[in-house]
Structure 1
């Protein structure tokens, strides 16, 4: 079977143009209405091969001729005349900007399904390699800059060459070398940098090799929508790398993993004429480029897509948020699928069928039939044409098969969009309503896009009002807040105002038009009095220095340069404003609904790119991923946008910990017995230091002191164990209870952990004491085993009474009367005369752990009571001699007929008492 050529029309008029590039000025033949950027995009596609006698440097002509010769050799054309006609038609579509080849799509790494156990292991490996590459790149960049400073320190040195290369004699070199060493450079690298000072340097790492490897995996739509564990991890990978594509079926994942070696795109706006769509010309162009791709691809995958679908809808006044626009876009893509697969079937008759089609013949044919039925049901003028094209493709596919089973895809490519005049590729993407045009002298000026112009004209809108709103007045005359008179009053002369308004034509904003390079540094320093150091700042703002506020600058900028949008133009009616709002900032739900409508007909899934704010969290990524799955998209990719330029994380200043107040010890160790005073009144001053804001945790020493207090509250045993800092302040507590339920014991243990953490982070102990004393719950009642506390209303009441008495000197919390278990558990209170008992000194071994001190405390240390605490009971009279013969401590007490040592527990009969009795 022979394929006849499809010829769209005559070649466009081209004219010579001087194109200034970074290294040369080129004389190139190009269409007169194309911008320089568009011409350069075609020259870049030509990969440096340039012929000044051919349009666009000859790249399109060489491409068309190569494919025509290859098609003739493959037998796709009947003779050389058909091949020449095909070549000319293909060249015309490129020179008129109707179609363009697209760059290849690299094949991503195919991961297992996210539901399989291997997925996490493989994904973690890719994630680790990517993190390593990121860290290595950042470290290498810093190290490279440090080594460059080493070379610069040598190169900038004037004098003896040996001295300049000696870090001991060249102080700048010494500082740079030390910095490079601190960043990880070994001394050999530093020496090489010194030796190679002044020579051209190469970077330590390839900046193009820093990006993450593209990944693709299949996932269950139900699992993604439900945010199960596997898809949540996949969302985290996508959130961190922006490189994971999730396909909702294994077939789409496999197709995406193959990539596409050759691609092309067609601008659909070129076929809309006077309110009608040229279906015949569109079908011919799609068939023409399908044939070109079938010739070029060989055995490699190929894709064909559409550009300007959103602009095509806008020109017809169809909002992408409405059902009518979705049906129109779906019908257009269905028409493209029918035309492309018909041409592919014709190519299959000569070149053979795709192995995928041979394996899935019935499935693919059934899919074509279903698409035809769905296309016919669309509410669009193109529905019938689309259904007819799909019917033809179905018939040809049944007869000849398909050369490419999966050909049409809604892919996006920025370079191809630039070659097509800024028409974005994708499902239904639209260009900004305000675009840029180039004048004959090369000046870029703002203008409405063709689609926006058509939409406004057909709607009968106030075109001039819309233009002023979107593109401004181009002058500060009559501008609010900052007009010519106000500027003159602030010291600007007519010359500076004229310079600024000339710069408005190509400036990015009003501040840029008043930059020192435009206004003149001499005027700013001499007239406005700007300091020299301020002028040296690249971010110096002339208008702010002149006293204008942010609100005033924004209002004047909008008057001069416009809002660059039409969605808030009050001169337009509500429907038109809503239409432009849907184009300028489409809602996520509307965008996903459009993608689902289009991908009902496309042969291949194209990943819907879902943008995330830079400060989003993985949970936000998982929710966005789930929303897309529920909307019906076939594939998606999370894209976390980069943080704004100059973003700096706000961190608190390093805090200096305030010195802790000195704490007075209740007992005082002395080396000899001193008679205690009969009565001593001590005024206790408590300074409460509460730190606000963040505080570092104060760790306890590994070997710490403390005490263990055993007691029983209401018959329930409680062991309180404390740990102290070196200064004696409590830093942790442990609470153990026996014969209690497991849940109660666990709660008490975890409560003790919480209190310990609070103490170590600086919460004052008295805060806890005030919070927990007097709490009431069982067990409660008399306390046994504690010499200061005889009753408590709860376990917590007892614990914090004990801590208050022992560490805070809170004698008011002590009670010595077990019968006084009333509402507060404090006993009889003050005013009851229990008599005064003279305190006796106590041996140091009663309070100091022999194991903790490791025998460092002398045996003759005793503790004298400090303060006015009353003895709870009169101590028994000392035994004769007071010194224990076993341990040497002065701790003997008479207990009935026995003398007992409080330190070692040695007992002996009291001979003096026995002798007296006899």
Structure 2
């Protein structure tokens, strides 16, 4: 089998690239125009499918591709497929070149499904019900095991959370939380040995027993008559129910297709057809060579397994020619391309049969295969496509070679899908006429991913003479919020955003998928959102927090601004394009199921094997919906189909009505003269009710930027302590600071951070009395006598002193004061350390003694005084009505006695009866 003249090799331009792998960053030789994701896809394939874990830094892509091609060349030479070593070497070089240039790639091996009888036979129902029962049991067992595992984990957590004696914590009779967790685990099916083991393993690393969802069922394939499926008979309805429930049943509409689909796992390869389109001409000769090359490679690799060749980028190939996959011309062009592929692949199989001998199975189906080739040639010649005549010629050559030499494999071409192979081919999807999105991403030299037109979309726009710049702005946006019709820089500044935050958002727009991500707290800054926009802390902690919505922008404004900055990411609604061009992009971006099924039916007229058409069902669809969709696909002419029920969205919750209490049974009325009713035996059942109360997160109450408070200097056991407080407008304490001197840095730091923790707790609503009760009477050094504080004379620790002081000053907890009550002055400031002893005569005090002049900024007049009335505790009350009495309402010295009342001459307030006089006078 001569190779060198038929498959000339080409050398791609390689460059040393740094690729980030899961365990390390490696350097590898790779084509310089490939993105990192494509290089990684080839490295993953080499490590998995070639069983190669060693990287060769001097070989392209680590040497995995070269080893794969070398292995096939040596195997083919030893099998006698090649005439000499030169042919094998030429085959190796050509195969390696097609992979390095991105023309072709090996594909993933498919899983062979389990063959079931025809759906009309009684054996199918029995077998399907058995598989359904097994799958349901596995699913329920997985759910039950997951719940049991979670319950046993709670048993271990109950032991871990317990503080105290270890034996008591591990005893369910002494640890109430452990007892509840153990009963819950027992109710879910755990025996006492399992519970005991969970207690013993508390705190040890734990892994889940089983995933919450059962493993997907094994694929099944069954045959069915097209008429029965299209008419939705009883057998078809049951098959639809099986497919609806498992998403694993492939329904082949002929017995031959069912047998072929149930064959062993095939080896596969894919070829990128867009690489052979040069302007308006298709390089048929090169395409036939590459298809024949990979058909030969699969013949070598497959052994006793089947082999399949697929095409990638057929939809992109149609787009470059301005052909819609929804139109007849597009279907004819795709069918001609697939027919050409079948002719080239079977010709290579016939040449391999000339060297190695035909497959023994070919003798049994010789007439059927030859008749099928002849029929395909006739149908191909009738297609309305420039490739129709060449496809018919290729099928004619294959027919002649098969008649002469036989075939190694008569079923080589199938329109299968493989996402991994698509990634290795530059994002070209596999399938009957699959196409990449016209708006894709490109990797820049510095590794950034930016939106751009796909190669096919670019060619289509250029050939159609469309307004390229208008299409780009519509699809990919302006890249900035400047001049946005809804949210621009001026509007953002009016809502409180500064130039700094706007610049951060603009930078994030370069690689953001939506506008909200560019304004996320991680980008804008949580400090700005909290301090300037006033976002509560609980909202900032929400991963779905929407900054723009909080700033007051409506959903319509956000969508308009996002479309201006990031574009619509599609071309089907671009008004700058003509109607036919918009319809063409709509067929690619928003394919209709009927058009997709029609394309697959047209292509499968020429392919050797059927590929199941995947019919997606909503998660809330019913079996009747599945049966109708299945019937529509059968009427469209596909050869096989598979129902795929989409999983429910994350967090889906079924709306259920509130549970209502059942009416209590009433006792029957007793009629006079009738025998008494039988006594009702009441059964008392103990029921454990556990209520879970979910409370919303507390919001932090911020202190004003300019706040009042006081500073108390004292010494505890000879160690000076400065207590600073900060208050809200209503006088409630909101923060404290503790400064100490002549202490170690570690102790001072601990006290500072302790004060911060107390302050945060106060601002989140923790009552001060809770802190006071928690820390009063704590004992540690320094401790002893307290000097400098008129209300507290001794303390057992620094914390005891601080919270005694706070309790006395803010809570009126005089029970915490241990000084002489007579020492308290009317101003509450005390004499301070070093003040003279003795009774201090009450006299008016200037307001500057207790009002900060800096805090009031001079607003308090200099002649404002504090009158010493309303003394605390044991002060003797002054006689009401005496000269110089102060009015408790207005504070004026104008109280005078008038009859039995004391009246203020200034405001007219009646202060009450004079002492010693009764109401009766």
Please report the TM-score for the alignment, with normalisation by the length of structure 2: 0.70
Distance 1:149 1:419 in 2: 46
Q: Which residue of 2 aligns with 1:549?
A: 554
1:25 aligned onto 2:25:
yes
Structure 1 runs not aligned, ≥5 long: 673-700, 704-918
Q: Which residue of 2 aligns with 1:345?
A: 350
Number of corresponding residues: 672
Deviations 1:849-903 (A, max 9, x none): xxxxxxxxxxxxxxxxxxxxxxxxxxxxxxxxxxxxxxxxxxxxxxxxxxxxxxx
Deviations 1:813-862 (A, max 9, x none): xxxxxxxxxxxxxxxxxxxxxxxxxxxxxxxxxxxxxxxxxxxxxxxxxx
Deviations 1:332-373 (A, max 9, x none): 000000000000011112222223322110000000011111
Distance 1:581 1:671 in 2: 84
Deviations 1:751-805 (A, max 9, x none): xxxxxxxxxxxxxxxxxxxxxxxxxxxxxxxxxxxxxxxxxxxxxxxxxxxxxxx
Q: Which residue of 2 aligns with 1:459?
A: 464
Q: CA deviation at 1:501?
A: 2.0
Distance 1:344 1:155 in 2: 68
Q: CA deviation at 1:390?
A: 0.5
Q: CA deviation at 1:189?
A: 2.4
Question: Is the CA contact 2:521–2:529 (under 8 Å) kept in the aligned structure 1?
Answer: yes
> What SS is found at the alignment partner of 2:309?
strand
Question: Is the CA contact 1:17–1:30 (under 8 Å) kept in the aligned structure 2?
Answer: yes
Q: CA deviation at 1:545?
A: 1.7
Q: Which residue of 2 aligns with 1:793?
A: none
**Residue among 49, 55, 68 paired with 2:53:** 49
- Higher alpha-carbon deviation: 309-318 or 496-505: 496-505
Q: Which residue of 2 aligns with 1:81?
A: 86
* CA spacing shift, 1:165–1:504, aligned 2, 3 Å: farther
Distance 1:375 1:86 in 2: 30
Distance 1:464 1:365 in 2: 53
RMSD: 2.4
> What SS is found at the alignment partner of 1:266?
strand
Q: Which residue of 2 aligns with 1:824?
A: none
Q: CA deviation at 1:303?
A: 0.6
* CA spacing shift, 1:515–1:91, aligned 2, 3 Å: same
Question: Is the CA contact 1:482–1:552 (under 8 Å) kept in the aligned structure 2?
Answer: yes
1:291 aligned onto 2:266:
no
- Higher alpha-carbon deviation: 463-472 or 134-143: 134-143
Distance 2:265 2:11 in 1: 30
Q: Which residue of 2 aligns with 1:15?
A: 15
Distance 1:172 1:516 in 2: 39
Deviations 1:378-416 (A, max 9, x none): 110001110110011001101111101111000001111
Q: Which residue of 2 aligns with 1:669?
A: 672
Q: CA deviation at 1:659?
A: 7.8
**Residue among 615, 618, 622 paired with 2:623:** 618
**Residue among 395, 399, 404 paired with 1:394:** 399
1:217 aligned onto 2:229:
no
1:413 aligned onto 2:423:
no
Distance 1:53 1:141 in 2: 49
* CA spacing shift, 1:144–1:473, aligned 2, 3 Å: farther
* CA spacing shift, 1:75–1:538, aligned 2, 3 Å: same
Q: Which residue of 2 aligns with 1:98?
A: 103
Alignment of 1:906-917 (within 5 A): none
Distance 1:368 1:530 in 2: 72
> What SS is found at the alignment partner of 1:669?
coil
Question: Is the CA contact 2:143–2:214 (under 8 Å) kept in the aligned structure 1?
Answer: no
**Residue among 251, 256, 261 paired with 2:256:** 251
Deviations 1:164-188 (A, max 9, x none): 5444555554554444334333332
1:280 aligned onto 2:282:
no
Question: Is the CA contact 1:5–1:288 (under 8 Å) kept in the aligned structure 2?
Answer: no
Alignment of 1:430-579 (within 5 A): 430-579=435-584
Q: CA deviation at 1:201?
A: 3.2
Q: Which residue of 2 aligns with 1:785?
A: none
Distance 2:486 2:354 in 1: 72
Q: CA deviation at 1:271?
A: 0.4
Distance 1:276 1:132 in 2: 57
> What SS is found at the alignment partner of 2:497?
coil
- Higher alpha-carbon deviation: 441-450 or 177-186: 177-186
> What SS is found at the alignment partner of 1:647?
coil
Q: CA deviation at 1:620?
A: 1.1
* CA spacing shift, 1:112–1:2, aligned 2, 3 Å: same
Q: CA deviation at 1:484?
A: 1.4
Q: CA deviation at 1:53?
A: 2.2
* CA spacing shift, 1:483–1:141, aligned 2, 3 Å: farther
Q: Which residue of 1 aligns with 2:36?
A: 36
Q: CA deviation at 1:203?
A: 3.1
* CA spacing shift, 1:8–1:568, aligned 2, 3 Å: farther
Distance 2:96 2:147 in 1: 49
> What SS is found at the alignment partner of 1:29?
strand
* CA spacing shift, 1:531–1:466, aligned 2, 3 Å: same
- Higher alpha-carbon deviation: 20-29 or 378-387: 20-29
* CA spacing shift, 1:586–1:655, aligned 2, 3 Å: same
Distance 1:283 1:636 in 2: 30
- Higher alpha-carbon deviation: 482-491 or 443-452: 482-491
Deviations 1:222-247 (A, max 9, x none): 00111000011001111111111111
Distance 1:209 1:653 in 2: 30
Alignment of 1:788-827 (within 5 A): none
Distance 1:480 1:360 in 2: 69
Q: CA deviation at 1:200?
A: 3.8
Q: CA deviation at 1:114?
A: 0.4
Question: Is the CA contact 2:163–2:169 (under 8 Å) kept in the aligned structure 1?
Answer: yes
Q: Which residue of 2 aligns with 1:741?
A: none
Structure 2 runs not aligned, ≥5 long: 681-921
Question: Is the CA contact 2:151–2:181 (under 8 Å) kept in the aligned structure 1?
Answer: yes
> What SS is found at the alignment partner of 1:30?
strand
1:380 aligned onto 2:385:
yes
Distance 1:419 1:164 in 2: 57
> What SS is found at the alignment partner of 2:251?
strand
> What SS is found at the alignment partner of 2:269?
strand
Question: Is the CA contact 1:107–1:256 (under 8 Å) kept in the aligned structure 2?
Answer: yes
**Residue among 576, 582, 587 paired with 1:582:** 587
Q: Which residue of 2 aligns with 1:631?
A: 636
Deviations 1:529-579 (A, max 9, x none): 111122222222222222222222212111111111110011111000000
Question: Is the CA contact 2:43–2:62 (under 8 Å) kept in the aligned structure 1?
Answer: yes
- Higher alpha-carbon deviation: 465-474 or 322-331: 465-474
Distance 1:671 1:435 in 2: 88
Q: CA deviation at 1:196?
A: 3.1
> What SS is found at the alignment partner of 1:353?
coil
Runs of 4+ in 1 over 6 A off after TM superposition: 206-209, 658-663
* CA spacing shift, 1:8–1:576, aligned 2, 3 Å: farther
Question: Is the CA contact 2:333–2:385 (under 8 Å) kept in the aligned structure 1?
Answer: yes
Deviations 1:602-639 (A, max 9, x none): 00000011111111111111111111111111111111
Deviations 1:507-531 (A, max 9, x none): 2312222221111111111111111
Distance 1:521 1:176 in 2: 39
Question: Is the CA contact 2:269–2:310 (under 8 Å) kept in the aligned structure 1?
Answer: yes
> What SS is found at the alignment partner of 2:672?
strand
Distance 2:174 2:639 in 1: 67
Distance 2:563 2:9 in 1: 44
Distance 1:461 1:174 in 2: 74
**Residue among 123, 136, 140 paired with 2:145:** 140
* CA spacing shift, 1:447–1:239, aligned 2, 3 Å: same
Distance 1:558 1:645 in 2: 27
* CA spacing shift, 1:513–1:173, aligned 2, 3 Å: farther
Distance 1:562 1:512 in 2: 15
Distance 1:150 1:375 in 2: 70
Q: Which residue of 2 aligns with 1:334?
A: 339
